[in-house]
Structure 1
Amino acid sequence: MSRHAVRFRVWAPAVDGLAVRVRGRDHPLEDDGEGWRVAEVPGAGHGDRYAFVLPGGETRPDPASRRQPDGVHGPSQIFDPARHAWRNGGFTGRALEELVFYELHVGTFTPEGTLDAAAERLPGLVELGVTCVQLMPLQPFPGDRNWGYDGVAPYAVHEAYGGPAALQRFVDRAHGLGLAVCLDVVYNHLGPEGNYLAAFAPYFTDRHHTLWGDGLDFDGPGAGVVRRFMIGAAVQWVRDFRVDVLRLDATHAIQDGAPRHLVAELCEAVHDVGRRAGRRVHVVAENDENDRKVLDPPPEGWGCSAVWADDLHHALHALVTGEGGKFLADFGRKEDVAAALAGGFVYQGQRSAFRGRPHGTPTRGLAPARFVTCAQNHDQVGNRPRGERLSTLVPWEALYPISTLVLLGSGTPLLFMGEEYGETRPFLYFTSHSDPGLAKAVSEGRKAEFIAEGVEAVPDPQAEETFLRSRLAPRRDGRHGELLAHYRRCLALRRRHLPAIAARWPEVTLDGAAVTLRRPGLLVRANLGAAPAGGLGPWSVELREG
């Protein structure tokens, strides 16, 4: 793109007679070889809306659109990321060991539900002790209410959040405060509404299947273009928006039989961008297989910086709440908590009752920081029928030992927005699909899923009230302020003792429900029970330096 012309290019090997419509005029696209269609349009530039025109006259947004100002069904808009004048360009990222993630959903984090409003809250997160803000997916989705995992434009930012320029402002503001920014991205599927990729090219194949239909074709005859399409999206977040960390959603669901897995190729590409810019860039994978291949270097592994390690959450949650359904059936003993704290994965090859087979791989030789741990996250809260947070499931006093073991435990801690002061509002599953059939299927499907499990009165994902109930209501008074002070104290201790925490796994011992972590210079003791244990009172914590 120049000041006087824009070159439009789209992969459409089976579509002849394709045109691009800019400012009401259609410009035919020419064959550029290997299925690519191109046209250079004089006078086009930043801010112009455009759409591709199919032979029958229907218009479709650009598969690689950077902005969808009128939603996922409307035209695309030219966006030039170079127009942003970076004020804090000297920020070079954070070392993995320094990261403390704070996961937030832009739409419910503030009453305004925008990136600009969220940016105003960043100083408070710095005061808390957070070092990296993790944004749930920002890619455009139908309507204005969604978790973001139904996104359909991998290169764009949802307009209701402020669009791509707002993301640049957010990252710039965060960097000015010393905060890294992590973006949650989804490359295992696209959402069902507004997904027009198949109109242009064979991005999908019936050889792979997902809950949303055919899977992305990362290993077929045209896989090279599909792979570059997704990897290019990841690269642009790091290069043009200066995102420091990418969190890859459900990498176990990326179906790729190629000799080199897509995630390994993506890691190399974004790390290369970081190296050339003199920045520390990390890739964190969600993967439920407890497989160290995610972390091991190529060629055997994928080379991710870290992995979401849910075993500590499962162990703590099952022990304290007594819940044991589904995957929690593998947990519930205090020994599981100790195993997670001492080695990242509880299951390192032993048989899983939930899966009915051996599960996991050994973690020997892997640093503790490479395991992202939490007491709560969007999945573990929002996938409950009524979206209850831990603050409403356990005695209030239990929040202290649970949070202590996460914040001063072995892994890289992640907080879910609001947990630091004990938010009691739920975080529910919400959508705003405009397709009546899809909206009905989502509402009825979720209701049927939980009724089958004996749960009645499940909130309707499509109802605006479901979304509004999920919006944070921050409190700093009374017990909420006391819990917040505890989080700040733990994170301050973590900073002071970071070399010892990052160096090795702690020595973990059990005395009844009391868990003790020993490191040079720091002793952490937490009673996870309602009765005295190990010299500690119910639900109490002891922190000792020296």
Structure 2
Amino acid sequence: MSGHPSPAVDSRTYRLWAPDASAVELRLGAGSALAVPMARVDGGWWEVAADPGDGRYAFALDGRPPVPDPRSRHQPDGVHTPSALVDTSAFAWTDHGWRGVPLQDAVVYELHVGTFTPERTFDGVVRHLDHLADLGVTVIELMPVAAFPGRHGWGYDGVAPYAVHAPYGGPEGLVRLVDAAHARGLAVWLDVVHNHLGPSGNYLGQVAPYFTDRHHTPWGDAVNLDGPGSDEVRAYLLDNVRLWLEDYHLDGLRLDAVHALHDERAVHLLEDLSALADEISRSSGIPRSLVGESDRNDPATVAPRAGGGVGGMGLHGQWADDVHHALHVALTGEDQGYYADFADPGALPKALGDTPFFHDGTWSSFRGRRHGRPVDPAVTPGWRFVASLQTHDQVGNRAMGDRIGHGIPAGRAAAGAALLLTSPYTPMLFMGEEWGASTPWQYFTDHEEEELAESIREGRQREFAEHGWAGQVPDPQDEGTVSASTLRWDEVTGEGHEELLGFYRELIRLRRTIPSLRSTPLGAGRVSRPEEGVVLVQRGDVRVVAVLGSGSTSVPRPDGAEVLASFGEVTALDGRIVVGPESVVVVGGRG
């Protein structure tokens, strides 16, 4: 069920779903001064025709203070104020020849608009799109931009899922970014959060039964997907996906923590979402991808839907955190918490060569139980899994927000890049990774409520004290935490940074031009155990040799094989290649 849009700027009909309300008023104007009674219509909806005036409006239910529209497109003065009308059909697009990027051809670049540039805006991102196009990535994945409290934050506490965060540039700023990206051959995905809303400015529960106490999430009340009134809640989420993919021309969505979408219906919400995305792809001729973040290690998330039979959820891709964990432990030696299982010498060969799920029905010591299910490569190819060396989660949820390159030599970080970008998975980089950014990426918020801010501070301190980091956790509410996390673009051409950037650029070019780096099936490549600090990878006729430590190695050089890319101490001799400490080389034909 879908098709209940908020009013456009030229509409004079306002609608609100509030099935339990006895009376509803439309409040017009920035100060909500003009009250217009609304009439109840079918299905718990209320409706009224009115002159839009200055375009600002809110809804007052049963004499209570007015609240924003749950389907608001814009909250120019913050999430606690009246909504603003936006006519999405009036956006000035120039991307009429855009044909999109299929997931199997994607190299993804995750970025946070608020810390990607000092401007902290969509327009600031536009100014660096040429850098990304030159790097060779094909997809930009924006962290959430749905309106959230304050000026800055990660975005996962958004409370207006249809509105574009005003400090970033609002709806028009997002349109300018997507249009400019398409002009440079870059697709744009958006990270969306459907499993919960943030604690400050969340008025949906006051309007209608958007949430339920039948299920719970770690972040707050669960969304009502299967209880009374859930037909309209599902329509709300389906319409949200349609808004992003159609009105904003986005090429895909990353769906946050889909394992927390508790749905007991025969047809899961994810099936409905993937069917909608496929419908939009067919009608537009442009591929749209839905990529789920799931903690279940279940290939059914991306297995095809089976119509009336029993099949998968049909998402086009999903994050593969086990690949990250295996790489992280091999490169850093850290083995606390959920990293413990990945200290197994067989973790890296399994996760890089055979399956994205190291836990595929095996014992997980962190969970204290068996976890996951095997992947059948004949049903689910490797490119459906998005793998990374670092992400906002894995960096930002460390106490100091330190990147993987901050604790290991540059050559070892480069080796990690080579292992990722020659893997059978769709690779994803985190902003600044490509030049070894010196800036951390820390957790930050901008809540007005001091009680909420203090609870977040205490929660972070308590969480990390358990890991031996007591007293060192940056204050999320401190403006300095955001500033410290903002990329420094003057580093790009600096000593060491420029060399690493060139290596990333070459690895991505090789992935694009050598078929075996995209087509070798899961299980068909070979990855050695990291014995004595040496990792060997074979994919088709391409070989990666990485030395993760102070030793060195000498490997045969097949006839006709070239050094395709290298970082550190690499010497090509007749018949052999010598790789020095903390160095990596990619060897093979050029396709």
**5+ long unaligned stretches in structure 1:** none
2:113 maps to: 106
Q: Which residue of 2 aligns with 1:200?
A: 207
Question: What is the CA–CA distance in structure 1 between the aligned matches of 2:335 and 2:329, rounded to whole Å?
Answer: 6
Deviation at residue 106 of structure 1 after TM alignment: 0.3
TM (norm. structure 2) is 0.89
Q: State TM-score, norm by structure 1.
A: 0.97
> Which residue of the other structure, out of 530, 533, 538, is the alignment partner of 2:581?
538
Q: Helix, strand or coil: the match of 2:411? A: helix
2:522 paired with 1:502: no
The residue aligned with 2:96 is 89
The match for 1:188 is: 195
Structure 2 equivalent of residue 378 of structure 1: 392
Q: Does 1:362 align with 2:370?
A: no
Kept in 2: contact 1:122–1:174 (CA 8 A): yes
Q: Assess if the C-alpha contact under 8 Å between 2:520 and 2:540 holds in 1.
A: no
What's the % identity of the aligned pairs? 43
1:333 aligns with 2:347: no
1:341, 1:372 → 2: CA distance?
12
Distance 1:5 1:244 in 2: 28
1:338 and 1:515 in contact (8 A); partners too: no
Distance 2:498 2:504 in 1: 10
SS of 1:9's equivalent in the other structure is strand
CA separation in 2, counterparts of 1:404 and 1:275?
35
The residue aligned with 1:345 is 357
Q: Does 1:492 align with 2:509?
A: yes
CA distance in 2 between counterparts of 1:198 and 1:80 reads 26
What CA distance in whole angstroms lies between the structure 2 residues aligned with 1:140 and 1:158? 4
Q: Secondary structure at the match of 1:150?
A: coil
Deviation at 1:515, TM superposition (A): 2.6
Paired residue for 1:150? Answer: 157
Q: Is the CA contact (8 Å cut-off) linking 1:114 and 1:162 kept in structure 2?
A: yes
- Change over 3 Å in CA distance of 1:2–1:222 after alignment to 2: closer
3-state SS of 1:495 partner: helix
Q: Which moved more, 1:524-533 or 1:277-286?
A: 524-533
**3-state SS of 2:453 partner:** helix
Equivalent position to 1:179, from 171, 176, 186: 186
Matched AA of 1:60: V
Which secondary structure state, in structure 1, belongs to the residue aligned with residue 447 of structure 2?
Answer: coil
Q: What 5-or-longer segments of structure 2 have no aligned partner? A: 1-6, 556-578
Output aligned runs, 1:189-228, within 5 Å: 189-228=196-235
- Seen in structure 2, the aligned counterparts of structure 1 residues 534 and 29 have a Cα distance that, compared at 3 Å, is farther
Q: Which amino acid aligns with 2:375?
A: T
Give the secondary-structure state (helix, strand or coil) at the position aligned to 2:12. Answer: strand
Structure 2 SS opposite 1:478: coil
Equivalences for residues 60-99 of structure 1 within 5 A? 60-99=67-106
Structure 1 residues 481 and 500, CA, compared in 2 at 3 Å: closer, same or farther?
closer
Write out aligned runs for 1:276-425 (5 A): 276-298=283-305, 299-342=310-353, 343-364=355-376, 365=378, 366-425=380-439
Bigger shift: 446-455 or 474-483?
A: 446-455
Q: Which amino acid aligns with 2:585?
A: E
Q: Are 2:550 and 1:524 equivalent residues in the alignment? A: no
Task: Name whichever of 251-260 and 480-489 sits farther off.
Answer: 251-260
Distance apart, 1:249 and its partner CA: 0.5
The verdict on how the C-alpha distance between 1:5 and 1:130 changes in structure 2, with shifts beyond 3 A counting, is closer
CA contact (8 A) 2:154 2:444 kept: yes
Distance 1:509 1:2, change over 3 A: closer
In structure 2, what is the equivalent of residue 255 of structure 1?
262
AA matched with 1:527: V
Alignment of 1:464 onto 2:479:
yes
- TM-superposed CA distance for 1:27, in Å, is 1.6
Q: Which moved more, 1:340-349 or 1:513-522?
A: 513-522
The amino acid across from 2:311 in the alignment is E
Runs ≥4 in structure 1, deviation > 6 angstroms?
none
Which letter does structure 2 place at the counterpart of 1:68?
Q
- The answer to whether the 8 A contact 1:238-1:274 is kept is no
- Counterpart selection for 1:33 from 13, 38, 42: 42
Code of the residue aligned with 1:424 in structure 2: it is S
How many residue pairs align between the two structures?
544
CA distance in 2, matches of 1:508, 1:174: 37
Is the CA contact 2:360–2:371 (under 8 Å) kept in the aligned structure 1? yes
The 1:500–1:378 alpha-carbon spacing in structure 2 relative to 1, beyond 3 Å, is closer
